[in-house]
Amino acid sequence: MAKKETFNNLIDICIQMEENPDLAGNASEMFRHLLSDYFFKGDVYDSKRIAFLIDNMKLPDFLGEHRSLIEVDMEKLAAFIERDTINDSLSGRIMITADYLKAFYPHHPPAFNKLPPDVREELLQRVKERNRLILEAFEKIKTDRQADRSRKVITLVALILKNIHRKTGLPLNPPSAPAETAIRGIYNNCDEVFNAKQRQLAELGDEAKIKEIIKTFFTVKKFQDLAGITKLFKAELDRYRKRALRG
């Protein structure tokens, strides 16, 4: 594919699904939802056949043992994703099918063994890569949870500011002091572990302090921009609040 795929922050997607009454408590349907709306979203968008394929795919029984994908057994999940052969792997069961070939390789016969060798090899590599990315996304949930349990308030604020910079591309102000000094000058109890206590949320969500920290780090010329970035700061804070409470 021309665009390199990434599946970052799967933990946030899983938490959102836990809040969805149509999916909550059903890890199997959560996983199916991830396939169609996340891992194979572009394929489903381009072909209704792939959506139908995923909707009717048989999923392993072990998924039904969990109420959340965050708690899924990684060894069992890895075995299901990778399987013994690439054709039987999770992505292979979608991408090495007649429906997939008809949709995305329309100039070739819709049979894997009839594809030209170079096209066949390209498809195999794509299947392997998709499997790898899916597995890595789930593995990252574990490392994200570890980080969420030990992240200090000062680190959280710095992370939120970093995310805002990445999402908006806003120019940074020339530093008048080290970033840590600037953050500590605005927020108290910076060395506490962030566990979404009400006191922590009240201070971090204080609009005056948010605007002060934004104006300290970013070049903001319009009031509308400041209001928009304040909203984004609050949204990021809420995202990490949910992760901290999830534990």
**Cα–Cα distance for residue pair 186/182, rounded to 1 Å:** 7
Radius of gyration of the chain (CA): 22
Q: Is 147 helix (H, G, I), strand (E, B) or coil?
A: helix
Which 8-state DSSP code applies to residue 190?
T
pLDDT of residue 225: 86
For each of the chain's 247 residues, which pLDDT tens digit applies?
334 566 888 999 999 999 999 999 999 999 999 999 999 999 999 999 999 999 999 999 999 888 899 989 999 999 999 999 999 999 999 999 999 999 999 999 999 999 999 999 999 999 999 999 999 999 999 999 999 999 999 999 999 999 999 999 989 998 888 999 999 999 999 999 999 999 999 999 999 999 999 999 999 888 888 999 999 999 999 999 999 998 7
Enclosing H/E stretch for 244:
helix 223-246
In sequence order, what are the beta bridge partners of 218?
172
33-59 residue pLDDT tens: 999 999 999 999 999 999 999 999 999
**Cα–Cα distance for residue pair 39/28, rounded to 1 Å:** 15
pLDDT of residue 5: 62
Enter the pTM of the model: 0.87
Domain ranges of the chain: 10-147, 153-246
pLDDT of residue 4: 54
pLDDT of residue 3: 47
